[in-house]
């Protein structure tokens, strides 16, 4: 039977080389197939970028403003996100399993806002991450903080576990209140995370020299939105970050604390995936907003 099949097969197209394309994400070419497939569920391969909707804040803040009711505040937004960044508790209780975008699970925690925040431990097992179909595990790294070594060790343990199972690790650079939020610090923090194995890194945008942060980090960088800003400023922040080499945003408060969260996340998508200028994206936001609340 095998001989007969071999004889009838003729369409080898020997003159057509097999594709051997590099993977679309910076620094990710030498990862295994499963990890790449998960990354393609976080970052859109068409733009190479992501809009992550971050609403894991409750893991140390409890029900903060805009996140009082995940079912009412967040679920209506999820189809506009490439990826959700959240805790396993919220995923299981509140997110429909029909969601097919990327899942980035909060994997570190412990102290609440009432205590020293840098004193985190690993708070998720790799079995649980895989059971919940996580594309990545997110871990806080406190470079220069009181628990620097412990937080770096949390990250490297998750990298070891994640690499074994093809799950990405997102290192979240947590900047202490007393630290300068400048390019020099961001270069230090992001580079340490990448050197020690993070698959990608989340950091804050800085006005001066952000392009040196993205240039010196060999893996993709996404930016946190930070404190709530007026919508035009938040869109400008996203625009500047992607123009200066960020592979997208991991945005929370500037979306869910907006007066019109659905319009805002759609406007952020225009900036990240379609290169809209901030003014164009704000106009788009205003149009969506007026369609929802005419007059």
CA 45 to chain centre: 14
Cα angle value 142/145/150 (rounded, 5°)? 60
- Taking the least distance from each CB to ligand R5P, the nearer of 82 and 250 is 250
The interface with ligand R5P within residues 254-293 (CB under 6 A) comprises 254
Interface residue with ligand R5P among 224, 242, 272, 281 (CB under 6 A) is 224
Instruction: Give the span between the Cα atoms of 155 and 197, in whole angstroms.
Output: 8
Query: Contacts with ligand R5P: how many residues (CB under 6 A)?
Result: 13
Task: Determine phi and psi for 68, rounding to 5 degrees.
Answer: -65, -40
> Closest by alpha carbon to 54, among 1, 14, 102?
102
- Cβ 38 to ligand R5P shortest distance, Å: 19
77 binds ligand R5P, rule: CB under 6 A: no
Which among 12-20, 26-34, 244-252, 265-273 is the span making contact with ligand R5P, rule CB under 6 A? 244-252
220 binds ligand R5P, rule: CB under 6 A: no
175 binds ligand R5P, rule: CB under 6 A: no
252 binds ligand R5P, rule: CB under 6 A: yes
- Cβ 255 to ligand R5P shortest distance, Å: 8
Collapsed DSSP state (helix, strand, coil) of residue 201: strand
Instruction: Report CA Rg, the chain.
Output: 20
Instruction: Give the span between the Cα atoms of 122 and 286, in whole angstroms.
Output: 42
List, by residue number, the catalytic residues.
202
Instruction: Give the span between the Cα atoms of 242 and 223, in whole angstroms.
Output: 9
- Cβ 51 to ligand R5P shortest distance, Å: 11
Interface residue with ligand R5P among 77, 172, 201, 246 (CB under 6 A) is 172
Instruction: Give the span between the Cα atoms of 195 and 182, in whole angstroms.
Output: 20
Using alpha carbons, list the distances in angstroms from residue 122 to 10, 107, 109, 269, 272: 55, 6, 6, 32, 31
- Cβ 7 to ligand R5P shortest distance, Å: 59
Interface residue with ligand R5P among 129, 169, 250, 273 (CB under 6 A) is 250
Task: Determine phi and psi for 186, rounding to 5 degrees.
Answer: -65, -35
- Cβ 68 to ligand R5P shortest distance, Å: 15
Strand partners, 52: 83, 250
82 binds ligand R5P, rule: CB under 6 A: no
> Which chain residues interact with ligand R5P by CB under 6 A?
54, 56-57, 85, 172, 224-226, 250-254
């Amino acid at each position: 039977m095998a001989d007969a099949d071999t004889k009838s097969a003729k369409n080898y197209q020997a003159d057509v080389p097999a594709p051997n394309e590099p993977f679309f994400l910076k620094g990710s070419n030498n990862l295994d197939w499963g990890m790449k497939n998960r990354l393609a569920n976080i970052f859109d391969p068409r733009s190479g970028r992501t809009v992550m909707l971050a609403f894991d804040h409750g893991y140390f803040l409890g029900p903060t403003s805009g996140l009082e009711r995940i079912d009412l505040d967040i679920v209506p937004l999820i189809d506009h996100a490439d990826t959700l960044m959240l805790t396993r508790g919220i995923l299981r209780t509140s997110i429909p399993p029909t969601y097919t975008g990327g899942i980035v699970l909060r994997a570190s925690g412990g102290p609440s806002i009432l205590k020293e925040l840098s004193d985190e431990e690993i708070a998720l097992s790799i079995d649980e991450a895989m059971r919940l179909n996580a594309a990545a595990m997110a871990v806080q790294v406190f470079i220069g903080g009181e628990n620097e070594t412990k937080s770096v060790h949390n990250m490297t343990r998750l990298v070891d576990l994640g690499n074994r199972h093809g799950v990405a690790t997102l290192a979240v650079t947590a900047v202490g209140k007393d630290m300068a939020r400048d390019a020099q610090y961001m270069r230090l923090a992001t580079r340490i995370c990448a050197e020690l194995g993070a698959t990608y890194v989340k950091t804050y945008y800085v006005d001066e020299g952000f392009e040196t942060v993205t240039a010196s980090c060999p893996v993709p960088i996404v930016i946190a939105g930070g404190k709530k800003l007026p919508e035009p400023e938040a869109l400008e922040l996203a625009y500047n970050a992607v123009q200066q080499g960020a592979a997208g945003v991991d945005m929370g408060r500037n979306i869910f604390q907006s007066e019109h969260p659905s319009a805002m996340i759609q406007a952020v998508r225009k900036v990240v995936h379609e290169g809209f200028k901030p003014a164009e994206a704000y106009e788009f936001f205003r149009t969506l907003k007026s369609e929802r609340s005419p007059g």
